[in-house]
Chains A and B, each alone.
Chain A
Amino acid sequence: MNQKVMQKRKWQSTLFLLIIIAVTYLSAVITNFNFVDGLAAFPAAIGWIISNLLITQESLERLPTILEKLNETVFMSIAATTTAAVISIFLGLMGSKTTSLNGILSVVARFIAAVSRNIPVVAWALILLLSFGQNSVTGYLALFVGTVGFLTRAFIESIDEASQSSVEALTATGATYFHIVNKAVIPQCLPQMISWILFMIETNIRSATLVGILTGTGIGYTFDMYYKSMNYNAVALVTFSIVIAVIIIELISNYIRKVIL
């Protein structure tokens, strides 16, 4: 590396850094974010959390209701993810170059995936809330739509990565499309797909809380209720039960991933 290249690199990285700083500053101005206030708020907030978010005996009495709602939320995210995965497998098979039937279907599959992925879950929840009302199905559908988008993209990528040679070999033997997909493509991609589904279940439990706050269902609604009535001990209990549920699911899926990948 000669002097000139080094100097150019240095210039480039300095410029990059300056742009980042400028953009950050601009963002702070536009959002009225005060760095000093933010910095000062942080220890205050931590202090508040430690002194107020305590689980007391009184809040523990609410545990059965909280667990029931948590159950509903966990089941909702699992159901949304698995049903979305079934749809996504078909969309993924249509969208991938290896297995697509024709160009138009492939474009359609990718388009559906891009739209449903990039419209945030919040927007879906608010739109569906208008006519589906306050019940689990609204949350389920909101999670379902977002998950279809994400999983289709992931499945298309894993099917594309699967080796072409086995598909070619089966085609040479005169196997039908169904045989090729069933015996060559799916077995190769299955571990990857299961890993993505597990990832999506974890993500969906967190999003389900958000969707719950908006649509008034599940653990999100419970949190919102205690939050608005300023029952902070119950808020702490809800938060902890979510944390424990998420960590348990993470541990299980880490184990499954370790075995299958």
Chain B
Amino acid sequence: METITKPTYMKRKKDGSISLKSGSKSERVMRWTIILFILLTIVGFLFFDYTGLHLTTAITETAYNLKVMFLEPALNHFSWGEALYQIGITLGLAVLSTVLGAVIALFLSLMAATNLSKEWISKIVRIIVAFIRAVPTVLWVLIFAIAAGLGSEAAVLGMLFHSIAYLVKAFSEAFEEVDKGILEALRATGSNWWHVVMHGVLPSTFTYLLSWTFLRFEINFSVAVAMGAAAGAGGIGFELFMASGFYFDLSEVGFITYAILLIAIILEVLSTRLKKRYFPASVRH
């Protein structure tokens, strides 16, 4: 037993006591990350632009506004039917950008997955996708709005861009996790690339893809609300913007917020169910 006779090295503190924590690299990085977060936050608060802020009045006013919003919701500038129609528009924008995005992303992610495509193709697709993802969706919608004119086309195209970038990343990661054995077995039988994709890759990842797509739909709904408010894409988001920015009608803001909240919660429950049904063990994000 040589290991016992050898004097083992122990980290000691200055006073000679043995230090119990052995600092691994990951622990060090975590500590520094947290310290960095705290420092940046403090610096951030010092840098803030506080013009025209009266904290006490602002807080009391907001509390009053929230009370009116949530306790006295009402519709004053449009009817129930119109409200439903506007929600329909927002949902429609979300559906269009998700479905079209999923179809396009499916093909692009086949090109981006390293186990299904050539290396240089996958690299090019990845770089383009990373670039598209880094630009906020609003900017895409606004940029498309100049070129395509304000309307649902610009909104859908802008949201589509971001959805594609998001889904390509998720899909290609799912494809890369496909068991190598399946691909090898299919290739050994002499099947071509198309066969491998149709009979090996897609069947084993289909539920993943579906769940990611639904998750994106959930995101796209709130993006569609945002686009209505910030880029004039119409729908319930635009009504929200009008109610708060033009009519200063808090009851109406409250009503619209309730409507959005209701749909968002329904979508969330649906997507959690989908997740639980298809992957009870591994809930991935």
Residues of A with Cβ closer than 8 Å to B?
20, 23-24, 26-28, 30-34, 37-38, 41-42, 44-45, 47-49, 52-53, 71-72, 75-76, 78-79, 82-83, 85, 114-115, 118-123, 126-137, 140, 154, 157, 190-191, 194, 197, 206-207, 209-210, 213-214, 217, 220, 223, 227, 232, 235, 239, 242-243, 246-247, 250, 256, 259-260
- When the two chains form their complex, are residues B253 and A119 in contact, meaning their CB atoms are under 8 A apart? no
Chain B contact residue count (CB 8 A cutoff): 82
Q: Check if B278 is an interface residue, CB within 8 A of chain A.
A: no
- When the two chains form their complex, are residues A41 and B153 in contact, meaning their CB atoms are under 8 A apart? yes
Among candidates B53, B92, B256, residue contacting A133 with C-beta atoms closer than 8 Å: B53
The 3 residue pairs across chains A and B that have the minimum distance between CB atoms: A75-B44, A27-B92, A131-B61
Residue pairs across A and B with Cβ atoms less than 8 A apart, 30 shown, are A23-B95, A31-B89, A32-B152, A33-B152, A34-B153, A41-B149, A72-B49, A78-B41, A114-B265, A118-B264, A120-B225, A121-B226, A122-B225, A122-B230, A126-B253, A127-B66, A127-B69, A132-B53, A133-B53, A134-B52, A190-B30, A194-B33, A209-B136, A210-B136, A214-B230, A214-B241, A243-B131, A243-B135, A250-B130, A259-B26
- With contacts A33-B156, A44-B148, A213-B138 taken as known, whether A120 is within 8 angstroms of B226 at the C-beta atoms is yes
- With contacts A118-B261, A126-B241, A130-B65 taken as known, whether A75 is within 8 angstroms of B226 at the C-beta atoms is no
- When the two chains form their complex, are residues A44 and B41 in contact, meaning their CB atoms are under 8 A apart? no
Which residue in chain B gives the minimum CB-CB distance to A26? B92
Which residue in chain B gives the minimum CB-CB distance to A115? B261
Supplied contacts A44-B148, A45-B147, A118-B264, 4 more A-B pairs, CB within 8 Å: A118-B260, A127-B62, A137-B58, A210-B137
User: How distant is the Cα of A213 from the Cα of B229 in the complex, in angstroms?
Assistant: 10
Q: Check if B25 is an interface residue, CB within 8 A of chain A.
A: yes
Instruction: Find chain A residues with CB under 8 A from B144 CB.
Output: 41, 45
- When the two chains form their complex, are residues A49 and B147 in contact, meaning their CB atoms are under 8 A apart? yes
Instruction: Find chain B residues with CB under 8 A from A227 CB.
Output: 142
Q: Check if B47 is an interface residue, CB within 8 A of chain A.
A: yes
Which label, helix, strand, loop or mixed, suits the secondary structure of the A interface? helix
Q: Check if B78 is an interface residue, CB within 8 A of chain A.
A: no
- When the two chains form their complex, are residues B134 and A24 in contact, meaning their CB atoms are under 8 A apart? no
- When the two chains form their complex, are residues B135 and A38 in contact, meaning their CB atoms are under 8 A apart? no
- When the two chains form their complex, are residues B153 and A33 in contact, meaning their CB atoms are under 8 A apart? yes
What distance in Å separates the Cβ of A243 from its nearest Cβ neighbour in chain B? 4
User: How distant is the Cα of A129 from the Cα of B53 in the complex, in angstroms?
Assistant: 11
- When the two chains form their complex, are residues B156 and A157 in contact, meaning their CB atoms are under 8 A apart? no
Instruction: Find chain A residues with CB under 8 A from B112 CB.
Output: none
Q: Check if B143 is an interface residue, CB within 8 A of chain A.
A: yes
- When the two chains form their complex, are residues A132 and B49 in contact, meaning their CB atoms are under 8 A apart? no
Instruction: Find chain A residues with CB under 8 A from B257 CB.
Output: 119, 123, 127
- With contacts A135-B52, A259-B29 taken as known, whether A118 is within 8 angstroms of B265 at the C-beta atoms is yes
- When the two chains form their complex, are residues A135 and B50 in contact, meaning their CB atoms are under 8 A apart? yes
Considering residues B229, B245, B248, B256, which has the most beta carbons from chain A within 10 angstroms of its beta carbon? B229
What distance in Å separates the Cβ of A249 from its nearest Cβ neighbour in chain B? 9
- When the two chains form their complex, are residues B33 and A122 in contact, meaning their CB atoms are under 8 A apart? no
Instruction: Find chain B residues with CB under 8 A from A71 CB.
Output: 47
Instruction: Find chain B residues with CB under 8 A from A38 CB.
Output: 153, 156-157
